[in-house]
Structure 1
């Protein structure tokens, strides 16, 4: 069921691990996002999470982002978010996380951080 609602593809590049999320992040799919982020952080490179194709983003998704932002701060591995819009951007602004997390307009900008 999770995979039907959320798809997360991973690509390791020389300077970062890029995750592309598509679909919905909610209580049913948050564990998939958490697992993919955990795998990405294991590479020891900056992690770029592209949220441009996420249509719905529940509060549990914010918890996952905060969890990995803090993990990144502790380990020196940045978490960079690409193109949050719609419900993702509204959720980030409502909680002022848009002022804490690293947000980028496009993948190229995030890769060069």
Structure 2
């Protein structure tokens, strides 16, 4: 069962949903990740980590813009996952997200997947 959470401010252009699956929490984000919307992304990840599952799958397939604040959040939760024993798996097939990840070489640090199915079934 998923929960849909949408931005409510006039300038907020992000939506997200969360679904608990076996040993993973799937967080799906659509829209733009920038300074204005980053608190929503951080909040969704906080909720996902609070579920205490083995992994959190962050599906960014529907993200059209991914600013540096998004990169910082990924690094933050990757580190938190290492401390708490939760693997953060990021689905980032779109250029809007994959481009910044590869440009900053975060692809060498983060667990990246081309699709949600692969991220959910990875071991």
TM-score (norm. length: structure 1): 0.94
Q: Cα distance, 1:69 vs. partner? A: 0.3
Partner in structure 2 of residue 34 of structure 1: 42
Whose strand proportion is higher, 1 or 2?
A: 2
Q: What are the Cα deviations for residues 34-85 of structure 1, in whole angstroms up to 9, with x where unaligned?
A: 0000000011111000010000000000000000000001111000011332
CA distance in 2 between partners of 1:61 and 1:97 (Å): 12
Task: Provide the aligned length of Structure 1 versus Structure 2.
Answer: 113
* Bigger Rg, structure 1 or 2: 2
Work out which structure has the larger RCO, using CA pairs closer than 8 Å and 6 or more positions apart in sequence: 1
List runs of 5+ in structure 2 lacking aligned partners.
1-8
**Which secondary structure state, in structure 1, belongs to the residue aligned with residue 23 of structure 2?**
coil
**Which secondary structure state, in structure 2, belongs to the residue aligned with residue 28 of structure 1?**
coil
List runs of 5+ in structure 1 lacking aligned partners.
none
CA distance in 2 between partners of 1:36 and 1:68 (Å): 11
Q: Which runs of 4+ in 1 moved over 6 A?
A: none
- Equivalent residue for 1:5, pick from 13, 16, 19: 13
- Equivalent residue for 1:96, pick from 105, 114, 121: 105
